[in-house]
Amino acid sequence: MTPSVGTKGLIFNEPLLWEKGVSGRRGFSMPTRDVEEAPLDESIRGDGPQFPDLSEVDVVRHYTHLSQWNFGVDSGMYPLGSCTMKYNPKTNERQASLPGFTGAHPLLPDSLSQGALQLLHELERYLAAVTGLPAVTVQPAAGSHGELTGMLVFYAYHKSLGKPRSKVLIPDTAHGTNPASAALCGFKSVPVKSNEKGVLDPTTISELMDEDTAGIMVTNPNTLGLFEENIMEVAEIVHKKGGLVYADGANMNAVMGMVNMADSGVDVLHLNLHKTFSTPHGGGGPGAGPVCVTTALEKFLPVPRVVKKGDETFALSWDHPDSIGKLHAFHGNFGILVRAYSYIRSMGADNLKKASQLAVLNANYIKENLKATYHLPYDRPCMHECVFSDKNQSPYKITTLDIAKRLMEYGFHPPTIYFPLVVSGAIMIEPTETECKNDLDAFIKAMKAIDQEARDNPELLTEAPRMTKVRRLDETLAARKPKLAG
């Protein structure tokens, strides 16, 4: 058998917190009481929650065990398409933990917030430099929060012209957050079919674009990993009818330093700092979704804005009457912004460009090496990700799901599966630039071995995984009889 990256090992069971507490145990160093107990109105006094009582050792063992059940980027290759699971630099963690940042209240007077305000201001400048769109807000707390911001800008823009519009064009390859964000702003999503080349066709856009359409939401490169080669024409058609172009920048990792998004016709774009800019995914966030816009749309950005005054100090500015308002209690996920800032300061322009080029090289390398084994619906040069399907394996009654579950046992996190929806049984692979050639070769070897197993010994796939802490889980039971709390 092909030597695998994944191997066996002993891990530990761990009960739920309330299954192991013993009343009276203490895990916390209670601060000294130096004031007397004050009278308390009995009508508002409650009993407090019956959390379990645990010792510090209990808690440390608990979470140490739990962590050992997880696969992270630090464990191995994590080729989730459109997620950009690149390496999370540890120096970023150090910078975000500096007490000057962690101990800072968001409503301190400007005079006591200069370091943070400078960081916010400079980060905005850097993101403008990467995208070509000069006006930036870093307030949105995630990509879809950024999408909502963008849709609110669309709404505000058309309202300011006295002509509110009701529709937004959305490609069939779009991430689900796109139509969801449009719907939050009252827009009706008009689906746009990609052509046989897997990209948007100007003719289709022409037919659909009208003066009741606020604009289009594109992802470029798209979720098939292909550059939207007609983007400039598409943007022109939309602009001609008075619409705006929104770009979902989730796939920005493919094009830093190579493509100027503003020049491609984009008016509003969001970035995912937890994708392109190396901030960690945290098991589901926190991320950050800054939004970059053209000068014409700057007045709509959320408040407060960060401004640099004549005396070179920084201040928060609230006087923006056309602003869409506020989406977050304070300035967004500041701790994440610190990490992204540190990444950009560590990389510089040349390395960011190289990162994109190597991300694209890695994806094409995998594509070339696997296309003889797995069905490739769009056999052309890809960007930073490539999409396969399970078509070649289905004669053996093997599905994309089976392939993914077997791949875990080889020591790799599976790619994104069953997305984009336009490819049946999609397998979307995005290696990112931080995977070295050895690891790519090991991944390719594993995928080929799995294909062979599909033919020779399919039970290895259908029964997978067997080496993990749990085997395949009954999701039907979880949905029919939801047990959401202990």
Partner 1 sequence: MKEISELTFPDDLRYAEDHEWAKQDGDTIKIGISDYAQDQLGDIVFVELPAVGDTFDKGGEFGTVESVKAVSELYLPMGGEIVGINEALEDTPEFVNNAPYTDGWMIELKPGNPDEYNALMDRPAYLDMLKGQES
Partner 2 sequence: MRYLPHTDEEITEMLQAVGVTSLDGLYESCPQGCCTITDMDLPEPLTEWELNNHMGELAASMGASPEYKVFLGAGSYDHFIPSAAQYLLSRSEFVTAYTPYQPEISQGTLQAIYEYQTLVTWLTGMDVANASMYDGASGLAEALLMSIRVTRRKKVAISTAIHPHYRQAVKTYFNPTGYEVVEIPYLDNGRTDISRIGNLDELAGVAVQSPNFFGCVEDLEAINGKVHSDPKSLMVVAFSEPMAYGLLKNPGSLGADIVCGEGQSFGIPRSFGGPGLGMFAAKRKYVRNMPGRLIGQTLDKDGQRGFVLTLATREQHIRREKATSNICSNQGLCATAAAMYMATIGGTGLRELARLNYDKSEYLKGKLTKAGFSLPFNSPTFNEFVVQFPDGFENTYQKLLEKKIVAGLALEGYYPELKGCYLLCTTETSTREDLDILVKEVTS
Q: Contact positions toward partner 1, by CB under 8 A?
A: 418, 475-476, 479-480
Tokens coding 229: 């080669």
267 CB contacts (<8 Å, ≥6 apart)?
133, 215, 244, 245, 246, 293, 294, 296, 297
Of the pair 93, 172, the CB lying nearest partner 1 is at 172
Instruction: Give the span between the Cα atoms of 156 and 148, in whole angstroms.
Output: 12
Cβ proximity of 246 and 217 under 8 Å:
yes
Give phi and psi for 438, each to the nearest 5: -55, -45
Does 12 contact partner 2 by CB under 8 A?
no
Q: What is the longest distance spanned by two Cα atoms in the chain? A: 77
Judged by beta carbon, residue 253 or residue 399, the one nearer partner 1 is 399
- Neighbouring C-beta atoms of residue 49, cutoff 10 Å: 5
Using the rule CB under 8 A, which residue among 2, 3, 12, 18 binds partner 2?
18
How many whole angstroms separate alpha carbon 157 and alpha carbon 147? Answer: 15
Is 307 a binding residue for partner 2 by CB under 8 A? The answer is no
Element (H, E) at 59: helix 56-67
Shortest distance (Å) from residue 87 CB to partner 2: 6
Q: Which does 3 bind (CB under 5 to 8 A by kind): partner 1, partner 2, none?
A: none
Q: Which is nearer to partner 1, 383 or 417 (CB)?
A: 417
| Residue 87 within binding range of partner 2, rule CB under 8 A | yes
* Pairing assessment for the beta strands 416-417 and 427-429 based on DSSP bridges: antiparallel
Shortest spacing between CB 477 and partner 1, in angstroms: 9
In the complex, least distance from residue 451 CB atom to partner 2, rounded to whole angstroms: 19
Minimal distance, residue 130 CB to partner 2, in Å: 6
Q: Which two tokens stand for residue 293?
A: 């816009």
State yes or no: residue 484 binds partner 2 (CB under 8 A): yes
Of the candidates 2, 7, 183, 452, which one interacts with partner 2 according to CB under 8 A?
A: 183
161 is a contact residue toward partner 2 (CB under 8 A): no
31 contacts partner 2 (rule: CB under 8 A): yes
- DSSP character string of 98-165: -HHHHT--TTS-GGG-HHHHHHHHHHHHHHHHHHS--EEE---SSHHHHHHHHHHHHHHHHHHTT---
# of chain residues touching partner 2 (CB under 8 A): 201
User: Considering CB distances under 5 to 8 angstroms, the limit depending on partner class, which of partner 1, partner 2, none binds residue 69?
Assistant: partner 2
Which amino acid, 421?
L
User: Of 364 and 394, which has the nearer Cβ to partner 2?
Assistant: 364
Minimum CB separation of residue 392 from partner 2 in Å reads 21
User: What are the distances in angstroms from CA 425 to CA 81, 195, 270, 382, 414?
Assistant: 14, 19, 28, 19, 14
Taking CB under 8 A as the rule, does residue 195 contact partner 2? no
- Are 4 and 408 contacting, i.e. CB atoms less than 8 angstroms apart? no
Q: How far is the CB of 456 from partner 1 (least distance, A)?
A: 25
Task: Indicate whether 53 belongs to the interface with partner 2 (CB under 8 A).
Answer: yes
Closest CB to partner 2 among residues 103, 310:
103
Q: E strand or H helix at 90, and its extent?
A: helix 90-96
Phi, psi of 11 (to 5 degrees): -120, 180
Nearer to partner 2, 296 or 436 (CB): 436
Residue from 135, 136, 370, 404 binding partner 2 (CB under 8 A): 404
Residue 113 or 219: which CB sits closer to partner 2?
113
Cβ contact 137:290 at 8 Å: yes
Q: Is 200 in the site for partner 2 (CB under 8 A)?
A: no
Is 50 a binder of partner 2 (CB under 8 A)? yes
Question: Which residue, 183 or 296, is less far from partner 2 as judged by CB?
Answer: 183
Asked if 148 touches partner 2 (CB under 8 A), the answer is yes
- Among positions 262-281, residues that touch partner 2 (CB under 8 A) are 263-265, 272, 274, 278, 280-281
- The reply on whether position 296 binds partner 2 by CB under 8 A is no
Report d(CA 146, CA 399) in Å as an integer: 35
Residue 465 binding partner 2, by CB under 8 A: yes
Cα–Cα distance for residue pair 116/113, rounded to 1 Å: 6
Q: Would you count residue 394 as binding partner 2 (CB under 8 A)?
A: no
Which of partner 2, partner 1, none binds 353 (CB below 5-8 Å, type-dependent)? Answer: partner 2
